[in-house]
A and B are shown apart, each in its own frame.
Chain A
Amino acid sequence: DAKTTQPPSMDCAEGRAANLPCNHSTISGNEYVYWYRQIHSQGPQYIIHGLKNNETNEMASLIITEDRKSSTLILPHATLRDTAVYYCIVSARMNRDDKIIFGKGTRLHILP
């Protein structure tokens, strides 16, 4: 079973920041938070990951709460091409036997 909870869908206006929440209240100390997205008819694409500090790359920012029980993926200036299903996943990088389980994700609609 997926270890995360996400809203099934969200809307965001083009040009605005899209904030996608994820709850992972049972996260273990050695588990990272990963975000992937899947644009229609394509394979999932890695976005970002983090352990406890906030992270930023060219695609997005990841904000992890101090207790690590939830996180938010931020797309700072959403475009129509960001319309996709976004998956939040927890996984222990150091555990050889820990496979990544994808839940149902959040379907993000960017509105023109």
Chain B
Amino acid sequence: GAGVSQSPSNKVTEKGKDVELRCDPISGHTALYWYRQSLGQGLEFLIYFQGNSAPDKSGLPSDRFSAERTGGSVSTLTIQRTQQEDSAVYLCASSLEPGQTDTQYFGPGTRLTVL
């Protein structure tokens, strides 16, 4: 079946430009996560959506980062005024509603390069 998909797979942008990264979770999954992984590092939690609840934004590194999830499905992570330190792989994951299972299914990621 269809897994988590992310687009674009690669994004190269210039410093100061805005970027939007898209995540399509598995159909029926109510929880959606965004992570960031810099080269050679572990995963860094960014934001978590669960159903209609207010998102947990505690991992967002600055106010240049924002995310939304429309209709409880597709999510967009936006980075404004990108900086070189934003270069990383951005991973999205989805899972069934907590209480059923917390197994997260990850997408292939978007590799962001800020020049």
Give A residues with C-beta under 8 Å from B: 32, 34, 36, 42-46, 49, 85, 87, 91, 93-105
Interface check B65, CB cutoff 8 A: no
* Contact of B48 (CB < 8 Å), options: A46, A49, A94, A99: A99
Q: Which residues of chain B come closer than 8 Å to A104, judged between CB atoms?
A: 41-42
User: What's the nearest-Cβ distance from chain A to residue B12, in Å?
Assistant: 17
Q: Are B106 and A45 in contact (CB under 8 A)?
A: yes
Q: Besides the contacts A96-B98, A99-B33, what 12 more A-B pairs have beta carbons closer than 8 Å?
A: A42-B108, A43-B93, A43-B106, A43-B109, A45-B106, A87-B42, A87-B43, A93-B101, A94-B98, A95-B98, A99-B48, A102-B45
What are 8 of the A-B contact pairs (CB < 8 Å)? A42-B108, A44-B93, A99-B33, A99-B48, A100-B104, A102-B42, A102-B45, A103-B42
Q: Shortest 5 CB-CB distances between A and B: which pairs?
A: A43-B106, A102-B43, A104-B42, A99-B48, A46-B103
Interface check B14, CB cutoff 8 A: no
For chain B residues 27-56, which have a beta carbon within 8 Å of chain A? 33, 35, 41-43, 45, 48, 50, 53, 56
Q: Are A105 and B53 in contact (CB under 8 A)?
A: no
Interface check B107, CB cutoff 8 A: yes
Q: Are B43 and A44 in contact (CB under 8 A)?
A: yes
Q: Which residues of chain B come closer than 8 Å to A94, judged between CB atoms?
A: 98-99
Q: Are B103 and A44 in contact (CB under 8 A)?
A: no
User: What's the nearest-Cβ distance from chain B to residue A32, in Å?
Assistant: 7
Given A99-B48, A100-B33, A102-B45, A43 and B99 touching (CB < 8 A)?
Answer: no
Interface check B18, CB cutoff 8 A: no
Interface check B91, CB cutoff 8 A: yes
The distance in angstroms between the C-alpha atoms of A91 and B101, with both chains bound, is: 10
User: What's the nearest-Cβ distance from chain B to residue A66, in Å?
Assistant: 23
Interface check B20, CB cutoff 8 A: no
Mask: chain B, 77-115; 1 = CB below 8 Å from A; 0 = not:
000000000000001010000111111111111000000
* Contact of B45 (CB < 8 Å), options: A45, A93, A99: A99
- B105, closest chain A residue (CB): A46
User: What's the nearest-Cβ distance from chain A to residue B100, in Å?
Assistant: 8
